[in-house]
């Protein structure tokens, strides 16, 4: 799993994820991702167009990230998931929580 900062302004930080967000993928970015979210004081938008697979470990990463941003009164959004990944999010009942948006 690759994670990079795409852009940042006074309101949003835009990240891009690329690869499989499974146990290995989640483990490879968790430390940097959580550290970034713990320090950031703005909304976080994740471009999910490069995520080809999402497992329960990836969902856990997203839910933990959501908790970190909410504790600072901001939100985490995901954007542009491919149909297979969107289907997994919907089956898990997380569509409303993960608040989809277009990339600013």
Whether the per-residue pLDDT at 100 is higher than 90: the answer is no
The answer to whether 61 and 36 are in contact (CB under 8 A) is no
Whether the per-residue pLDDT at 52 is higher than 80: the answer is yes
Give me the domain span that covers residue 15. 2-91
Classified as helix, coil or strand, 1 is coil
CATH code at position 51: 3.30.750.24
Which positions ≥6 away from 91 have C-beta within 8 Å? none
Count of domains forming the chain: 1
Q: What is the mean pLDDT of the chain?
A: 92
Scan for tokens 């989809």, then name that residue: 100
Whether the per-residue pLDDT at 63 is higher than 90: the answer is yes
Q: Which residues pair with residue 51 across a beta bridge?
A: 19
Please state whether the predicted TM-score (pTM) of the whole model is above 0.85: yes
| Assigned domain for 99 exists | no
């Amino acid at each position: 799993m690759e994670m990079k900062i795409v852009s940042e302004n006074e309101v949003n930080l835009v990240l891009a994820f690329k690869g499989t967000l499974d146990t290995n993928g989640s483990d490879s970015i968790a430390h940097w991702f959580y550290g970034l979210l713990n320090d950031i004081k703005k909304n976080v938008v994740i471009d999910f167009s490069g995520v080809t697979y999402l497992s329960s470990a990836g969902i856990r990463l997203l839910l933990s990230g959501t908790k970190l941003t909410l504790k600072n009164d901001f939100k985490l959004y995901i954007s542009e998931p491919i149909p297979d990944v969107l289907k997994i999010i919907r089956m898990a009942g997380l569509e409303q929580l993960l608040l989809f948006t277009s990339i600013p």
